Amino acid sequence: MAPLLLSLTFLSFLLLPPPSFAASSCASETFSKNRLYTTCNDLPHLSSSLHFSYDNSTGTLSLAFVSAPPSSSGWVAWALNPTGSGMIGSQALIAFKQSNGAMVVKTFNVSGYEAIQESPIAYKTTDLSAEFGSDGKIRMFAKVVVGQGASSLNQVWQVGGSVTNGVPDKHDFKSDNLASVGKLDLVKGVSTTDSSAATSSDNKRNVHGILNGVSWGILIPLGAIIARYVKVFEVADPAWFYMHVSCQLTGYAIGVAGWATGINLGKESKGITYTTHRSIGIAIFALATLQIFALFLRPNKDHKFRLFWNVYHHSVGYSVIVLGAINIFRGLTILQTGDKWRTAYIAVICVLVGIAIVLEALTWLIVLKRRRSVQKTYSNGHASVQQPFGV
C-alpha cells in the first residue's frame, strides 16, 4: 500500500506546472547614445525584452534586444524567420564577448541543427553593436530592413552559455529555450507567442515522464518484490503468482505507452537528441519484452531447463529495474524538474528498498524455521527407522 501511495504522490509532483519567473518591465530600460524606441515588449521566455521602432517609409526595423546569457562568456540571439516559425531558417543576430573582451554582433543563417557558421542573412543589417552591462545583461542593437508594408514577422530569440572560436555553442533545451518563438506585430506593436504549442510540448514531456516513472520505476520493482517475498507465505500460493504477473503486465503496458510517447517526442524535436537516455530506453523496452516471452516459455518446476529459465528471468528482470531507475533520473535531469521531483522519486525508492529489507529478513526467518522443522522431522523419522536394525 505504501508504494502505491508514494507513486500517487510522485504523480502529483510531476503534474504540477513548472515555476515561472516574470521578467522585469522593459519600460525601465535605458540605452546608451540616447537610443529611443517607440515600443517595447517583455518577451515571455528567457527573461528577455525587445525594443523597436518601425519606419514604414524605408522598411527599416530599429531594435534593441536585451537578455542575460547563462554566463559572462555566453551569447544572446534574436532572429527573424521568413520561412517558418522555428529555429530552422531563422536569420539570426548573435551578440557575444570576443576573446579580447570586446563585444561583437555577427549574422548567422541557421539552416540546420548542426554547428552554425557566420554567414550573410536574408535581411540587410546596419548599425550592429552590443554592450555587456553590469547587471549581466547583453544589450544588442541593430537596424534590419524588413521591407515596406511589413505587418507581422516570425521572431526567435535565444541565449547560450559559451562560445568556441568565435562560434556560439549549443544552447540548453529547457522549456523556456524551446518556447522562445513567436510573432512580432509591427502594426499593433506587440509580441505574441504560441503558448498552446509550448504547453502541449510540456504536457507531452510530463506524460512521458509520468508513464515511465510509474511503470519502470514503481510497478516493475513492486512486482519483483511480490515474486521474491510474498510467495514464501504458503497462504499466498498461488495468489502471489497472479499478483506478480498482473503487476508486471500492467507496468509493461504503461511502460510501452511511455516509450512510444518518447519516440513521438523525438520525432517532433528534430535535432534535439538525448542519446544516452534514448539508448537506455530502447534497452529497457527490449529486455522487458523478453520478460513477456518468459511468461509463455516458463517450464514446469521439475523440468531440466527450469534452472536456466530462472537465471534468465531473474537477470533480465533485475537489469530492467536497475536501468529503469537510472533512466528515470536521467529523464528528470532532462526535464529540469528541480529537486522536489527528484526527492519524491528517491523517497519512492527508499520505501521500496525498506520494504524489501524488512521482507528479506522476515522471509529468511520463515525459511530457516521451516528448515529446522524439516530437519527435526527427518531426524526423528530416521531414528525410528534405524531403531529396529539396532535391536
Cα(108)–Cα(123) distance, rounded to whole angstroms?
11
Give the integer Cα–Cα distance in Å for 173 and 205. 12
Contact 117, 47 (CB under 8 A): no
- Do residues 197 and 102 touch, judged by C-beta distance below 8 A? no
C-alpha span between 370 and 373 (Å, rounded)? 5
* 208 marked as part of a ligand binding site: yes
Question: Which grid cell sits at 241?
Answer: 503468482
Q: Is 244 annotated as a binding residue?
A: yes
CB 215 within 8 A of CB 258: yes
Q: In sequence order, what are the residues at sequence separation of 6 or more whose Cβ sits closer than 8 angstroms to the Cβ of residue 253? A: 215
Please tell me what DSSP assigns to residue 34.
G
In 3D, which of 93, 88, 91, 83 has the Cα closest to residue 111? 88
45 appears as a binding residue in the annotation: no
DSSP string, 165-212: TTEEPPPP-SHHHHT-EEEEETTTTEEE--HHHHHHHHHHHHHHHHHH
What distance, in Å, lies between the first and last C-alpha atoms of the chain?
Answer: 60
DSSP symbol at 120: -
Helix (H) or strand (E) holding 106: strand 103-109
Instruction: Name the pairing type of β-strands 163-164 and 91-97.
Output: unpaired
Identify the sign of the CA torsion 291, 295, 300, 301. Answer: positive
Q: Is 94 exposed, middle or buried (0-12, 13-18, 19+ CB in 10 A)?
A: buried
What is the rounded distance in angstroms from the CA atom of residue 316 to the CA atom of residue 166? 48
Annotated binding site for heme b: 208, 244, 277, 313
Residues contributing to the annotated binding site:
208, 244, 277, 313
